Structure 1
């Protein structure tokens, strides 16, 4: 039976570098940022925070192991496709859940990130939840807020999928998903030209720009799509910069993150009419690319972001 299992696994991952893993042996210890987290069994009442982490768990087929999700409807609109996937799963909080909310739902696992549902010194942290019997797994990209780490890469997302696979004993699903993502990105990169446009990601903000430095996943997306991130020397994740920096570095393309009450069209209008930005090449030539929030944050839709960015960067 084991031989048949392995044959099926390798067939499912034909052409990929990953193979099927053996079943999880509990207790299992997983590295989460700079902590070791031990699981005596697979979680049965998990909660994911934010749309990207919720999508990861649902794509891995973990809906039956979840008590609900949080942090989606209060910040962003949900597509009909995502709404269908979420059907039957309760949203425990439209923005941030409280400790009491998690306890009342008998939660035993919280998948969130720093600046994605948790903040240093806040009410919801591994330090506050672990003593209450709630194991916390931190989004890898977000670890930059609590420890020194290298520039963001797609490996951050793969790491989260692999760890979720181990925690919930669905390694084969995680491996297959990662292989599919890698194959799609490889296809995009086969046709990338040598020329790299200078790219700036604009999240929000008027007095100063909310954007991402090299520790945020947008940096990895821009680079993977054949762009030159103008903030690749900024040792920060999601951060704010002055408009003078944007003008000095003169991006040829601006990527707008679409979410919240301010629409992508309104953000573009602000950029186009901002007197301080009129010398910027991207503004002069109206070169804007819009990607939704779920694609601009670590998750399985990063592949779609890379495809969209590559098409936009290198359009003739």
Structure 2
């Protein structure tokens, strides 16, 4: 994948798609008369989508990273010339003051239902919004999450910025890489039961059927024990986790509580002692940027697939 990204980013600009173009963004159609020239992305995963498509020259900054989690070296290098306009969710004034003409965000990824920054509140200022597909469940019905949601965002960004050929090549590369890898894996007799532990001690915050880890787990050959939770990310009770008896636990690593601390909490609580994943020390750690929609989902599937097949 690194070789593919390097080749794409180093390639000469591809011919621009004829404008205007219209893309579907959640329950809206958004028309662009020309590629945005002053784009802002929110959060690490959305920013990496922009960088994977070689769109930094169209960006004036990013938001919502340092206030939540540390930039790793890969992303730090990619945004080296860009300012962070806000450490967490930006205000409307921040985006307007920066001269933004495009905001790539999502519901609970820089947008809040009924909040100050939404597609409707930014429209009068000439700032068009494209919403992360995974996040659309917060405002509309949508199918269960799949890898197609992430691919859809890359392809739509390609159309918006006039680099559709580049986006298509990137997505086809991801598909081919993933298919070739999965063909090398030994089959599983039964899909292992997997629990996603994001955070929380009194009650765990986890991934439901509309959150990206469900797609990652299924692609790797497992099943999310909260597959029937009709939400993306949500808080549940520990009783449900104990009852559903996961064989593997995915730890999402970010924020002030480390993955090691989360594992120590699980192993130190007698109530979890008989959960197979805890008994057999079967954990897989995904960084936040791997567990949310973006280019690193491919590596995340590899990690989970290996964990599901480990003795």
Determine if contact 1:243/1:276 at 8 Å carries over to the other structure: no
Question: How do 1:5-44 residues align onto structure 2 when only pairs under 5 Å count?
Answer: 23-44=16-37
Aligned counterpart, 2:39: 46
Alpha carbons 1:192, 1:226 under 8 Å: kept = no
TM-score by length of 1: 0.92
Q: Does 1:217 align with 2:212?
A: yes
1:105 maps to 2:95: no
**How many residue pairs were aligned?**
298
1:253-276 per-residue CA deviation (whole Å, 9 max, x = no partner) reads: 000000011111011111111222
Tell me which of 151, 154, 159 is aligned to 1:161.
Answer: 154
Q: Deviations over 1:58-113 (max 9, x none)?
A: 11111010010001111111112221111011100111111111111100000000
Aligned pair partner of 2:176 in 167, 176, 183: 183
- In the TM superposition, 1:124-135 aligns within 5 A as 124-135=117-128
Residue 25 of structure 1: how far off its partner (Å): 2.2
| DSSP 3-state at the match of 1:156 | helix
* Structure 1 counterpart of 2:258, from 259, 263, 283: 263
- CA gap of 1:219–1:92, structure 2 versus 1, over 3 A, is same
For residue 305 of structure 2, the aligned residue among 285, 293, 310 is 310
- TM-score relative to the length of structure 2: 0.93
Hey, what's the Cα distance between the residues in 1 that align with 2:15 and 2:138? 33
Paired position in structure 2 for 1:75? 68
For 1:61 and 1:113, the matched residues in 2 are separated by 20
Q: Which residue of the partner structure matches residue 232 of structure 2?
A: 237
Residues 129-150 of structure 1 show CA distances to partners (whole Å, capped at 9, x for unaligned) of 1121100000001001110111
2:116 match = 123
Give distance in 2, aligned partners of 1:228 and 1:30.
Answer: 32
Give unpaired runs (5+ residues) of structure 1.
1-11, 14-20
Structure 1 contact 75–95 (Cα < 8 Å) conserved: yes
In angstroms, what is the RMSD of aligned CA positions?
A: 1.5
Shift of 1:192: 4.2
1:194 to 184, 188, 199: 188
Question: Where has structure 1 moved over 4 Å in runs of 4 or more?
Answer: none
